[in-house]
């Protein structure tokens, strides 16, 4: 959570100067440069590239990187950081929902309770009460 907080605050600061999608591209580039030597050292290069493997790489590049991180970076650039960051907590909830809908997983009581707590926490963090009226005479 400390790293996520630092990431969001840095992103909010940089979004005043740079486009959200430029920052997403830079994150991808720096991540590739950083992790490519580790990948080359830890495993040999594949001899053949399967269509399924290629599709997985394209999916991760487009949907996860551009879709998820690009849209999150865009949201942080347009919304208050606290508001955009609160919705990151819904990722495990949607993962659980998609596991049930797409993979036929079943939910335990503890998982349902946890999902309700996460959803309640996000809703509570975004709830705004009615504005408090100003005392008479302040704006006179």
Q: Does one domain contain both 113 and 59?
A: no
pTM beyond cutoff 0.85: no
Q: HEC states along the chain?
A: CHHHHHHHHHHHHHCCCCCHHHHHHHHHHHHHHHHHHHHHHHCCCCCCCCHHHHHHHHHHHHHHHHHHHHHHHHHHHHCCHHHHHHHHHHHHHHHHHHHHHHHCCCCCHHHHHHHHHHHHHHHHHHCCCCCCCCCCCCCC
Q: Does one domain contain both 63 and 91?
A: no
Q: Does one domain contain both 87 and 66?
A: no
Note the pLDDT of residue 18.
94
Q: Which two tokens stand for residue 50?
A: 């399967």
Higher pLDDT, 17 or 134: 17
4-54 pLDDT, tens digit each: 888 889 999 999 999 998 999 999 899 889 998 998 889 888 889 899 999
Domain count, the chain: 2
Q: Does one domain contain both 58 and 31?
A: yes
Note the pLDDT of residue 22.
93
Residue 138 pLDDT exceeds 70: no
Note the pLDDT of residue 46.
83
Q: Confidence band (pLDDT; 50, 70, 90) for 127?
A: confident
Note the pLDDT of residue 39.
87
Q: Does one domain contain both 87 and 67?
A: no
* 23, 11 Cβ separation under 8 angstroms: yes
Structural domain harbouring 17: 1-41+53-78
Residue 113 pLDDT exceeds 90: yes
What is the distance, to the nearest Å, from the Cα of residue 53 to the centroid of all Cα atoms in its chain?
24
Q: Which two tokens stand for residue 117?
A: 């707590």
Note the pLDDT of residue 45.
83
Q: Does one domain contain both 88 and 72?
A: no
Q: Does one domain contain both 25 and 92?
A: no
Q: Does one domain contain both 3 and 63?
A: yes
Q: Does one domain contain both 7 and 33?
A: yes
In a domain, 48, yes or no: no
In a domain, 101, yes or no: yes
Q: How far apart are CA 23 and CA 11, in angstroms?
A: 8
62-103 pLDDT, tens digit each: 888 888 888 889 999 998 888 888 888 888 888 888 899 999
In a domain, 47, yes or no: no
Q: Does one domain contain both 3 and 68?
A: yes
């Amino acid at each position: 959570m400390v790293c996520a907080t630092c990431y969001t605050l840095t992103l909010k600061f940089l979004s005043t100067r740079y486009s959200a999608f430029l920052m997403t591209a830079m994150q991808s580039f720096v991540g590739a440069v950083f992790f490519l030597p580790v990948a080359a050292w830890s495993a040999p290069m594949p001899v053949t590239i399967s269509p399924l493997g290629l599709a997985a790489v394209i999916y991760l590049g487009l949907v996860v990187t551009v879709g998820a991180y690009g849209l999150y970076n865009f949201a942080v650039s347009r919304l208050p950081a606290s508001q955009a960051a609160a919705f990151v907590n819904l990722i495990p909830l949607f993962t659980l929902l998609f596991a049930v809908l797409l993979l036929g997983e079943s939910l335990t009581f503890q998982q349902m309770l946890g999902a309700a707590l996460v959803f309640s926490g996000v809703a509570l963090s975004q709830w705004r009460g009615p504005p408090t009226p100003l005392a008479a005479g302040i704006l006179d």
